[in-house]
């Protein structure tokens, strides 16, 4: 019959032929004792990684207090690391020691339960380690999950000399109720670890969602900031243009107010505004609800002043003065020509000449 490693098998039965002789029951091979077995695997690392193609196996007996599992290392190449899968099933295992030897049998590295910290700090998964309670006791391993393993803390120089050698694991798998007790504790730890891992994944997902939302908000704010900067630049350009136009207008007003023509005509304008207020005409006239009949004004004795400011341009000045002098008006008037420091001497000379020839100027 197959051993404990067999999951299932198929048997084909057929009737025996006439000339087939079956062995007598007493001559059959003695049956092997029924034993529960487990398989340990040793992975040979190459370049810092482990794979299924580079592993060794050894078979142990469940219920044996102490036994030695021996792994023969290949002659070449030397492994860069050794990863031990203690068993292919959950259980309660004792570890008494390990020894790595070279091809000649010389010890390159060894471990005992007195060096519990070295093993407890090694990379591992699916194993709950319990240091021995007594100095002479074994190091206890609770194997759980589907793939318990531990990477042995062997120095690199020892591994470099291990080609063709062997690794011996002094272990035991006792039939003990302690497994049930420790299994309950381990299952609680496993459940707690799984809950913590699930909570960590949930926190990670929530953080990623918050990060994505924050990134989108930051992108939106960045685009809005860019739009506001462009709008600000447009407003600054428009403001500068308005400031320039305002300065030009202020300068024009300043030039007008400081010109000779403006200073000479302001008293006349103020006098006209006072007369308008007295007569109730122009902008000073109060609005009335009834239409007033038009009444002709009687010309006064004083002549009306027609003021013409002159600065430059002889042809334009001549046409303007001659047009005024040629007009017909029943109201007495006189022409007041103001030469505002014209830079053209011919303009001033012509004005003096025409003023001497016409008494209305």
Query: Across-strand partners of 166?
Result: 72, 101
- pLDDT tens, 152-165? 999 999 999 999 99
Alpha-helical (H) ranges within the chain are: 116-120, 156-160, 178-257, 260-279, 314-326, 345-357
Give CA–CA dist 74/55, Å, rounded: 10
Q: What would the pLDDT profile of 301-321 be if each residue is shown by its tens digit?
A: 678 888 888 877 888 888 888
CA angle 95, 101, 107 (to 5 degrees): 90
The arithmetic mean of pLDDT across residues 338-353, rounded, is: 81
CA distance 221 to 159: 58
Give yes or no: residues 217 and 265 share one domain: no
pLDDT digits (tens, 9 = 90+) for 94-115: 999 999 999 999 999 999 998 8
Q: Are residues 199 and 334 in the same domain?
A: no
Within a domain: 168:
yes
Pair 123, 43 in one domain: yes
Q: Look at residue 7 in the predicted model and tell me its pLDDT.
A: 62
Q: Are residues 155 and 222 in the same domain?
A: no
Range from 68-77, 136-145, 151-160, 287-296 carrying the lowest mean pLDDT: 287-296
Residue 6 lies in a domain: no
Question: Is residue 24 domain-resident?
Answer: no
Q: Is residue 190 part of a domain?
A: yes
Q: Are residues 171 and 206 in the same domain?
A: no
Average pLDDT score, the chain: 83
* Adjacent-strand bridge partners of 37: 61
Query: What's the structural domain count of the chain?
Result: 3
- The domain boundary residue, chosen from 128, 154, 176: 176
**Model confidence at 2: pLDDT above 60:** no
Return the pLDDT at 34.
Answer: 61
Both 165 and 78 in a single domain?
A: yes
Radius of gyration of the chain, Cα coordinates, nearest whole angstrom? 59
Range of the domain at 339: 260-281+304-357
For the cut 90, the answer to whether the pLDDT of residue 37 exceeds it is no
Least confident of 54-58, 79-83, 147-151, 350-354: 350-354
Query: Per the domain annotation, does 20 fall within a domain?
Result: no
How do beta strands 67-72 and 166-172 pair? antiparallel
Tell which residue, 4, 103, 16, has the closest CA to residue 60.
Answer: 4
């Amino acid at each position: 019959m197959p051993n404990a490693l067999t999951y299932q098998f198929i048997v084909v039965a057929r009737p025996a032929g006439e000339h087939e002789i079956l062995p007598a029951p007493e001559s059959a091979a003695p049956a092997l004792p029924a034993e529960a077995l487990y398989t340990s695997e040793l992975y040979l690392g190459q370049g810092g990684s482990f794979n299924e193609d580079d592993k060794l196996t050894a078979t142990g007996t469940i219920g044996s207090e102490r036994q030695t599992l021996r792994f023969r290392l290949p002659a070449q190449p030397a492994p860069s690391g050794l990863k031990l899968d203690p068993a292919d099933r959950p259980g309660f295992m004792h570890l008494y020691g390990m020894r790595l030897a070279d091809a000649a049998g010389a010890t390159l590295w060894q471990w005992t339960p007195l060096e519990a910290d070295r093993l407890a700090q090694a990379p591992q998964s699916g194993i709950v380690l319990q240091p021995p309670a007594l100095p002479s006791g074994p190091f206890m391993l609770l194997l759980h999950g589907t793939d318990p393993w531990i990477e042995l803390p062997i120095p690199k120089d020892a591994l470099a000399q291990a080609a063709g050698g062997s690794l011996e694991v002094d272990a035991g798998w006792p039939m003990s109720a302690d497994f049930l007790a420790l299994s309950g504790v381990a299952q609680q730890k496993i459940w707690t670890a799984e809950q913590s891992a699930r909570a960590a994944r949930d926190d990670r997902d929530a953080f990623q969602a918050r990060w994505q939302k924050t990134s989108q908000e930051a992108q939106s704010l960045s685009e809005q900031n860019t739009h506001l900067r462009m709008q600000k630049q447009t407003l600054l350009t428009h403001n500068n243009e308005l400031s320039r136009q305002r300065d030009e207008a202020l300068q024009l007003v300043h030039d007008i107010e400081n010109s000779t023509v403006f200073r000479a005509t302001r008293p006349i304008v103020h006098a006209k505004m006072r007369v308008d207020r007295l007569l109730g005409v122009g902008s000073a006239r109060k609005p009335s609800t009834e239409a007033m009949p038009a009444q002709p004004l009687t010309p006064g004795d004083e002549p009306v002043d027609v003021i013409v400011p002159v600065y430059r341009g002889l042809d334009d000045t001549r046409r303007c003065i001659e047009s005024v002098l040629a007009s017909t008006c029943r109201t007495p008037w006189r022409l007041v020509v103001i030469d505002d420091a014209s830079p053209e001497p011919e303009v001033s000379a012509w004005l003096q000449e025409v003023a001497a020839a016409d008494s209305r100027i």
